[in-house]
Amino acid sequence: MLALVFSYEVRDSAEFERVYGSEGEWAEFFRQGRGYIGTELLRDVETPGRYLVIDRWESADAYNAFIAERREDYMEHVDATRFLYDSELRFGTFESVWS
């Protein structure tokens, strides 16, 4: 299992949660890809407007294949949702240590 982890500082929490949540626009887009497991959205309880987004895929190959196939659509989603946050930090790409 592969997890891509991002941190966001957002302007409008309600709209961000709608778009980036487990049933949001990004998850809907990723569901088109073979190997997509799901998205988890975590809200920081100590810092208002700060979120973690964790996108899970079966493997790096599944994620990379989806991005390669849908690069143009992916970039359109990035452009369309960029206004929802002040900053984005990609913590990294992690894989499960359990089989």
pTM for this entry: 0.93
Beta bridge partners of 85: 10
Q: Where are the domains of the chain?
A: 2-88
| Domain 2-88 grouped into CATH 1.10.357.10 | no
79 to 14, 19, 44, 50, 85: CA distances (angstroms):
19, 13, 25, 20, 12
Looking at residue 11, what is its pLDDT? 87
Q: What is the pLDDT of residues 44-84, one digit of tens each?
A: 999 999 999 999 999 999 999 999 999 999 999 999 999 99
CA quadruple 73, 80, 58, 4: dihedral sign: positive
pLDDT band at 98 (very low <50, low <70, confident <90, very high): confident
Share of residues in the chain with pLDDT > 90 (%) = 95
Task: State the average pLDDT for the chain.
Answer: 96
Q: Summarize the confidence of residues 94-99 as an average pLDDT.
A: 85
